[in-house]
Amino acid sequence: MKKILFIITIFFTISIYSQEIQFVKEYGKVNYRDNNGSEINKSAKSYLYFYEKGKVKIKIINTINLTLFFTKIEKKELIGIQTTFFEGIDSNDNNIRGFYTNKNFTLLGETSTLILDKE
């Protein structure tokens, strides 16, 4: 009985968690530099998971896992391209700002720079 209850609880938790995701974008190229000087500039399978309430999870396979929390979002059209500018914090309490379009996602923070480009 405990096993069945445990499985039901996990399934319910996963279903609620997955419903929070609004959309996912896949990227092919990553440029990243952190405060330790580590740099990546290569092709790498990467995903951005956009959640409700301004939360974004960046997953680059076997490399980087960041969670961002947007506190301000503003949409503008620049040179015919719909661009979303944002401000917020990351999971290490660093202030972040950046922007994204349908082709790239650029994050500028106190300690890191991350640019993802679609191929």
User: Looking at the whole model, is its pTM more than 0.75?
Assistant: no
Read off the amino acid at residue 67. Answer: T
pLDDT tens sequence for the chain (119 residues): 555 554 555 544 444 455 688 889 888 888 877 666 677 777 888 888 988 888 888 888 777 788 999 999 999 998 888 999 999 998 888 889 999 988 889 988 777 788 888 86
Structure tokens at 30: 């990553």
Structure tokens at 29: 């190229």
Structure tokens at 13: 């938790």
CA end-to-end distance (rounded Å), the chain = 49
Q: How far apart are CA 40 and CA 5, in angstroms?
A: 44
Structure tokens at 116: 């993802």
- Contact in structure between 89 and 69 (CB atoms under 8 Å): yes
Q: What pLDDT score does 4 carry?
A: 55
